[in-house]
Amino acid sequence: MPPEYRDLVEQSTYGHEDRGWKDIGNSKELIEAHSLCAGCPESMAFRYILASLPNPEDTVMVGSTGCTSLVFPMVAVHNIHSLFGNQNAVASGLKRALTVRFPDRIKDVVVLAGDGATVDIGLDMTLQAWFRQEKFTTICFDNELYANTGGQESGLMRKGFVAKMAPTGKKFDKVRLPEIARESGCCYVVNLTVSKPSLVEKVIKNAVLLAREVGPTYIQLYTPCILEIGKNSMEGLQEMRDSEKPGERFNYKEYITDEAKQYLADLDAKKKSAVIPAAQLTE
């Protein structure tokens, strides 16, 4: 085993059931370097997601072209790069193949792509995977434009916004992808920022666990492109906090089906019953 891999197995949180964002800084991280701009919220989002995956050693992530694809070569989770926009089609095949190849083992598939890949160029693949009820999680890093190619307009861009390569301003409202996801068959949909790591952890865990058994899940995370909105490297967090206030675009929003709610409640009850009460331990 190469020393880097041995180090990872011994010092990271692989196999720890209670792994989460609290481990960041205390254990070997699954992403220790990245080539994003300094202070880019996508880097925070990546760290929180990787720390929250319930089963990283048996997870395959599917990426797409964009700023996020600069990070995947440095991520210690199996990952595959797909042609821009094709990520949900690739993930569908991958999930099915893994299910056939490893029938006795849980294999999670998680798509992570930008808004351009998810909504504009990849919308057909995104929706068709949901219509077919493919069992994997789709995460969109929504920075409301095409950051990697210099700031073109995206369907998720807010109305009126002027970007470097969209000088006349967006003419219509931000596409309501969380609502489209709900209506397209996702059993759990959440729209939020990455300002609160414990909330991101809970949402990512729920999404991955539900995708195993119940159906497709969709998480839309605001990861502002500080470069394109004219903020400095210290201002990303405040930008997210401002955008999650009541009435703002990224005020926390969640849709969950009754079946998904019941599944999570059953998991929770099982977990609680597995904990031996302290009184019994002293008997």
Ligand X SMILES: Cc1ncc(C[n+]2csc(CCOP(=O)(O)OP(=O)(O)O)c2C)c(N)n1
Name the 3-class secondary structure at 253. strand
String marking each residue 147-166 x if it binds Mg ion according to CB under 5 A: x-------------------
Out of 227, 240, 256, 260, name the contact with ligand SF4 by CB under 6 A: 227
As a whole number of angstroms, the distance between CA 44 and CA 40 comes to 7
Is the C-alpha dihedral spanning 40, 45, 50, 51 positive or negative?
positive
Q: Which is nearer to ligand X, 91 or 113 (CB)?
A: 113
Out of 136, 146, 222, 263, name the contact with ligand X by CB under 6 A: 146
Is the C-alpha dihedral spanning 224, 228, 233, 234 positive or negative?
negative
- If binding is defined by CB under 6 A, does position 13 make contact with ligand X? no
Nearest distance in Å: CB 120, ligand X: 8
Out of 66, 155, 178, 215, name the contact with ligand X by CB under 6 A: 66
- If binding is defined by CB under 6 A, does position 144 make contact with ligand SF4? no
Nearest distance in Å: CB 62, ligand X: 13
As a whole number of angstroms, the distance between CA 87 and CA 120 comes to 13
* Residue 188: strand pairing partners: 217, 256
- Which range, of 32-40, 98-106, 170-178, 255-263, touches ligand SF4 by CB under 6 A? 32-40
Out of 20, 41, 63, 114, name the contact with Mg ion by CB under 5 A: 114
Distance from the Cα of residue 52 to its chain's centroid: 10
- If binding is defined by CB under 6 A, does position 145 make contact with ligand SF4? no
Instruction: Classify residue 214 by its DSSP letter.
Output: T
| Burial category of 186 from C-beta neighbours within 10 Å (exposed 0-12, middle 13-18, buried 19 and up) | buried
- Which range, of 181-189, 194-202, 212-220, 222-230, touches ligand SF4 by CB under 6 A? 222-230
Strands across the sheet containing 188-193: 78-81, 59-63, 108-114, 137-142, 217-222, 188-193, 253-256
Enumerate binding residues for ligand SF4 (CB under 6 A).
36-37, 40, 42, 67, 143, 147, 225-228
Enumerate binding residues for ligand X (CB under 6 A).
65-68, 83-84, 113-117, 121, 141, 143, 146-149, 154
Enumerate binding residues for Mg ion (CB under 5 A).
114-115, 143, 147
